């Protein structure tokens, strides 16, 4: 089973939303994520590992259709993204600011590979997940 760091993915997806006009840079976002965890007194993985994982998540999210290059008329510069409908759906399921996000994350964790396109689309289509 593939496991994902949903908090880090959530952070990256929020940064995608806010990337108009500037480059999407997953490594510094991983640093900021780790700093926020440390400030809250929460444990986090090795920083170098987190940076590597963030870069891998960027590639995975792009390859599997969760994000796509931001059009120029929306602030795109060739190095930033927008959420696709699938990416928006993922963010709405895992967003920690939404009460009850633990259940969707648990359901996703129970999948062989929750970010596999077919698997995610099937799981996300079920009303009871949210």
pLDDT digits over 39-81, tens only? 999 887 789 999 999 999 999 999 999 999 999 998 888 889 9
Q: Do 60 and 115 contact (CB within 8 A), yes or no?
A: yes
Residue 49 confidence (pLDDT): 93
Residue 19 confidence (pLDDT): 84
Q: Which residue(s) pair with 82 in the sheet?
A: 68
Region 5-27 average pLDDT:
92
> What value does the mean pLDDT of the chain take?
91
Spatial CA neighbour of 26 closest among 77, 61, 66, 2: 61
Least confident of 16-25, 53-62, 63-72, 108-117: 16-25
Name every residue whose Cβ is closer than 8 Å to that of residue 110 and which is 6 or more positions away in sequence: none
Residue 66 confidence (pLDDT): 98
Region 8-33 average pLDDT:
92
């Amino acid at each position: 089973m593939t496991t994902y760091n949903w908090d880090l993915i959530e952070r990256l997806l929020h940064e995608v939303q806010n990337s108009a006009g500037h480059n999407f840079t997953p490594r510094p976002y991983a640093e900021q994520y780790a700093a926020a965890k440390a400030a809250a007194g929460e444990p986090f993985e090795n920083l170098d590992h987190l940076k590597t994982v963030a870069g891998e998540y960027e590639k995975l999210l792009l390859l599997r259709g969760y994000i796509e290059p931001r059009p120029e008329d929306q602030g795109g510069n060739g190095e930033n993204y927008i959420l696709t409908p699938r990416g928006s759906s993922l963010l709405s399921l895992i967003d920690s600011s939404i009460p009850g996000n633990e259940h969707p994350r648990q359901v996703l964790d129970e999948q062989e590979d929750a970010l596999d396109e077919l698997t995610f689309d099937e799981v996300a289509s079920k009303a009871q997940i949210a």
